[in-house]
Structure 1
Amino acid sequence: MKKILVPVDFSEYAEMALEVAATLAKKYNAEIAVLHMLGLSETAVAKNEAQDFLEMEYYMKLAKKRFNMFLNRPWLKDIKITQTVQNHKVFREINNVAKEQNIDLIVMGSHGSEGLGEIFVGSHTEKVVQSSEVPVLVIKKRTKHFKIDKIVFGFDFRIEYITAYQNALKLFSALELDVHMVYVNQPGINFTSTSQTKAQIDSFLRIAHHGDLPENLQIVQISDYSVEKGIYAYAEEVKADTIAIATHGRSGLAQFLKGSVGMDVANHSSLPVLTFKI
C-alpha cells in the first residue's frame, strides 16, 4: 500500500480518520493525501469571472489555512502528506480524485454509533461507499492503539463477484492480514445444504486460485438468521479487528443490510468496516 486518501471536513470524525490513516501510513511506509471539498454553489461561482476568481482564491486560502492548523499533529510527524482543495460538492467525485492520484485506500470517520446500517444511511460516508471503486475503511470510534491484523470478510462466493474478491485479497495481502472469509447460511429460500455450500465455495476457489489457497486465508461456513448477525457473531468469536463486506455500488451497504433480521445485533458492532465495490 502506497497512498491513503482522507476526505477532510475539519470535524472530529475527519480527525479520527486521519489518525487511523497515520497509523497505517507509518506501518506500511505510505503517504497520505488529504482532500477538502469546498462545495460552493453555482451562484457563488457564476457571478462574473473577476468576482469568481477572487471568491475562489479567498476560499482556497481559507481552506489551506485550516489545513495547516488541522494537520499540526504530533502523530503526523515524518509522514509525507499532500493537500488537495477542490470545488467538489458531489461525493462521488471523490472516486475520480482517488483514481487520478492512484489511491489504494480511502479512510473516513463516521458519526454512526448504531452499527453497520446506521453508519451509512444518509451520510457522506454512504455516498462515498456507493461510488468508490477504491476500498473504503470506515472508522466508527477513536481507538488509542489502532491495529488491523485480523479481518472477517463476509462473502457469498458467487462467480460474478470474483473481481471484487481478487481486489479484496490484493489489499489484504498488502496489509499482511489474517483473513477469515465467512459464508453465512440462512434459513428460508436461500438455504443450501452443507455439501451444496462446500461445492459452491470449492468451485469459486478453483477458478480464483487454481487450487492454491493463500496461507493467510481461512474459509468458514456458519449458519445464522441473517448475514449481518452471523458476521458480527463470528467476528466477536475470533476477536477480529475489522469487518469487510462487498457492496453493490449504487445500492451501498445500507441496502445490503436493509430489513435484515439481525440488524439489532449487528448494530452493537463497533469494529471498523472495510468495503469493496462489486
Structure 2
Amino acid sequence: MTKILVTTDLSSASKAGIRFALQLASQQETELIFFHCFQALIPTTVHQGRIETALKRQTKSTLHKLERFISSAIRTSRYKPGKYRCAVLEDLSPDSAILQYARESEVDYICISTRGAGELMKFMGTHTSKVIEKSTIPVVVVPHTYRSKKVDRVLYASDLGEVEKELNVVSRTAQNLEASVDLVHFYYSADEKMEAEVNFPRWQKKFPLLQRLRMESHNLNDDFAHQMERNVQKLTPGLVVFFTHPKTGWFNKWFSPN
C-alpha cells in the first residue's frame, strides 16, 4: 500500500493537493495522511505550568478544524478515499514539521499544493521549495488550478546522467497508476542527441512502460522552467517527474539558464 502525506494550510488553494491525492488513491491502494502544521498562540502572561495544557487544547481544536476541512473537501470530490487519517503538529517551521512527520510516518510521497500557476519556478522561495531541497522522500507539487484527471501519462524529464536508476523509480510509480511514460531531454550537442536515440530502444526493452523519447535542443537563453512548461502544455501529462541532486542546488541545476 502506498502511503502519502498530504499537506494543507486549510486554505482553498491547498484543496488542489487534496484533490490530486484523492485521484491517486482512486487508481491504487493508498493510505492518505492529511497533515497541518500550526503555530500555537499562547499569551506570554500564561503561567509556565499551564502552557502544556493550553498547547494540548489548541492541538485538539486544530485537529477538529482539519478534520472538518478534509470532510468538506471529500464530500465535494468525485472520489472517496479508503484508508485515511488527519494529523497536526505545532511547529514554527512548516517545512521542518512536514519533513519530520513524513520521516516518522515512513510515507512514500509528500503531496503539497502551490499557489504558483504556470512557469514551474513560481513556487520558488516558498515552503514548497524548502521541502523539495531537503527531502529524501519524493515530493508531489500540485498547482492550485489542478482539476481531477486520471493520471494515465507520466512525463519524465532527465539529464540522462542516471537515467536507468531513475527510470526504475518512475516505472514503479507509473505501473501502480497503470500509466505510460514519456521521456524528455534537452540536449546540448548533436552527439548527445544521437547517443540518447541509440540507447532509447534498450531503455524501452528494460522499461516496457516507456513509450516515447522527446528530444529538444537546449536554449541557452531560456531556463528549464519555461522549456518544461511548454512541454507540459503540449503533452498534457497527468504527472511530471524530475530528480534533484543533494550536492547541487535544485534551483541552480533545473531552473537557471546554462
Normalization by structure 2: what TM-score? 0.80
Alpha-carbon distance change, 141 to 64 in structure 1, aligned in 2, over 3 angstroms: closer
Superposed counterparts of 1:162-173, under 5 Å: 163-173=165-175
The answer to whether 1:111 aligns with 2:115 is yes
Going from structure 1 to structure 2, the CA distance change for 1:40 and 1:250 (only over 3 Å counts) comes to farther
- Cα displacement string for residues 164-188 of structure 1 (whole angstroms, at most 9, x for unaligned residues): 4433332222222211111111xxx
1:88, distance to aligned residue in structure 2 (A) = 3.1
Tell me how far 1:6 sits from its aligned partner.
Answer: 0.7
Change (3 A) 1:244 1:39: same
Shift of 1:97: 2.1
Aligned partner of 2:230 in structure 1 is 233
- The equivalent position to 1:221 in structure 2, one of 186, 211, 215, is 215
d(CA) in 1 for partners of 2:232, 2:157: 10
Question: How many residues matched?
Answer: 248
- Residues 115 and 252 of structure 1: is their aligned pair in 2 closer, same or farther, counting only changes over 3 Å? farther
In 2, the alpha carbon distance for the partners of 1:235 and 1:29 equals 27
Give the 3-state SS of the residue equivalent to 1:117 in structure 2: helix
**SS in structure 2 opposite 1:86?**
strand
- Whether 2:83 is the aligned partner of 1:86: answer no
**Matches of 2:198 and 2:47, distance apart in 1:** 62
Following superposition, the deviation at residue 31 of structure 1 comes to 1.8
Ranges in structure 2 where 5+ consecutive residues have no aligned partner: none
Query: Conserved in 2, the CA contact under 8 Å of 1:38 and 1:59?
Result: no
Equivalent residue number for residue 199 of structure 1: 195
Q: Distance in 2 between matches of 1:38 and 1:86?
A: 6
Partner secondary structure for residue 55 of structure 1: helix
The CA deviation at 1:104 is 1.9
Instruction: In structure 1, list runs of 5 or more residues that go unmatched.
Output: 186-190, 262-278
Q: Percent identity?
A: 19
Aligned to 1:246: 243
Secondary structure, counterpart of 2:243 in structure 1: strand
What's the offset of the Cα at 1:64?
1.5
Describe how 1:57-96 pairs up with structure 2 within 5 A. 57-73=56-72, 74=75, 75=77, 77-90=80-93, 91-96=95-100
Secondary structure in structure 2 of the residue aligned to 1:13: coil
**Separation of aligned partners in 1, 2:47 and 2:248:** 37
RMSD, matched Cα: 3.2
> CA deviation digits over 1:200-238, x for unaligned, max 9?
6767997xx6x8422211333222414444433333333
